Amino acid sequence: MKLKRTAAAALAFALPAGATFIFISCSTTSHPIVAPLEIPGAHDVGNQVCAQCHADIVREFPASPHAHLALANAGAPGGSGCESCHGPGSKHVESGGAARFIINPRRDPDACFRCHLQVRAAFELPDHHPVIEGRMSCMQCHDPHGGDIYKTSGGLAMARRNETCAQCHREQTRPFVFEHPAVREGCTTCHDPHGSVNRMLLTQADDNLCLRCHAQTQAAPGRIYIGNVDHTALLQIGTCWSAGCHTAIHGSDVDPRLRY
């Protein structure tokens, strides 16, 4: 298709030296070269034109990983990252901002899956956040415009990633008398945020989830210790977080060994 080949050519030949890495990272994570969006009769105008009326968004945008989307449409003055997601803006601008001449993806995940095919695959795994089902949207965890893409759009207080999860999961993110330092390293230490083959979105289904930080030692032949506790029999029961064991995995108010 002609359109695609033009975009591919722009990507291959219009790269400034500093952007080579982006190109490599795109090809290794296999971002498809997508055809630009179309709005009948409209052409690209570039981000600086949008700035006349959407100054706040244009001002923060250069720090976004999506600012590099300018590469896909390098012809437009000032880059055309905005138009990669919103479609060519000339008729919207000429009309003084008529909404019918611009695309607003709102909560539609397909607007993101166009480029992030692997993310779509993650949301189709057996355990997943209900985004494709329409009960959640990408924008509850990502800001498509902002310098911090891991912050929810408009949510100043959400700068830390765990706080993004805290919007909906209060119990796991509240303060505890006995905290588990693993949680401070981030919820994604143990959970895939999009989807997983394991229940509870876990990154690993078994004790290996814990053993990468808590080394097993063989204190005596056939005896497995974790910390200074003999776990030989305990490890036969089930996972480390099975009933009776470290069930309060996110933190406990009663037991320093993370039990209820």
Site for ligand HEC in 82-101 (CB under 6 A): 82-86, 89, 92-93, 96-97, 99
d(CA 201, CA 127): 6
d(CA 161, CA 37): 31
User: Using the rule CB under 6 A, is 177 a contact of ligand HEC?
Assistant: no
Of 127, 31, 119, the C-alpha closest to 71 is: 31
Cβ at position 127, least distance to ligand HEC in Å: 5
**Interface residue with ligand HEC, options 91, 151, 194, 231 (CB under 6 A):** 194
**Residue at 174: amino acid letter:** R
**Residue at 135: amino acid letter:** R
**Interface residue with ligand HEC, options 20, 29, 217, 218 (CB under 6 A):** 29
Q: Which is nearer to ligand HEC, 126 or 222 (CB)?
A: 126
Task: Match 């989807």 to its residue by tokens.
Answer: 195
User: Using the rule CB under 6 A, is 170 a contact of ligand HEC?
Assistant: no
User: Using the rule CB under 6 A, is 11 a contact of ligand HEC?
Assistant: no
**Interface residue with ligand HEC, options 15, 19, 114, 155 (CB under 6 A):** 114
Residue 36 near residue 72, CB atoms below 8 Å: yes
Applying the rule CB under 6 A, the residues between 49 and 78 that interact with ligand HEC are 49-50, 52-54, 57-58, 61, 65-66, 68-69
**Interface residue with ligand HEC, options 39, 91, 158, 193 (CB under 6 A):** 193
Q: CB under 6 A: which stretch of 8-16, 189-197, 215-223, 230-238 binds ligand HEC?
A: 189-197
Applying the rule CB under 6 A, the residues between 119 and 158 that interact with ligand HEC are 119, 127, 129-131, 135-136, 138-142, 144-145, 149-150, 153
d(CA 71, CA 16): 9
Provide CB contacts within 8 A for 53, sequence distance 6+.
Answer: 97
Residue 153 near residue 105, CB atoms below 8 Å: no
Task: Match 């795994």 to its residue by tokens.
Answer: 125
User: Using the rule CB under 6 A, is 31 a contact of ligand HEC?
Assistant: yes
**Interface residue with ligand HEC, options 75, 227, 238, 244 (CB under 6 A):** 227
Q: Which is nearer to ligand HEC, 221 or 236 (CB)?
A: 236
Task: Give the count of beta carbons closer than 10 Å to the beta carbon of residue 167.
Answer: 14
d(CA 114, CA 57): 22
**Interface residue with ligand HEC, options 35, 183, 234, 235 (CB under 6 A):** 183
d(CA 178, CA 175): 9
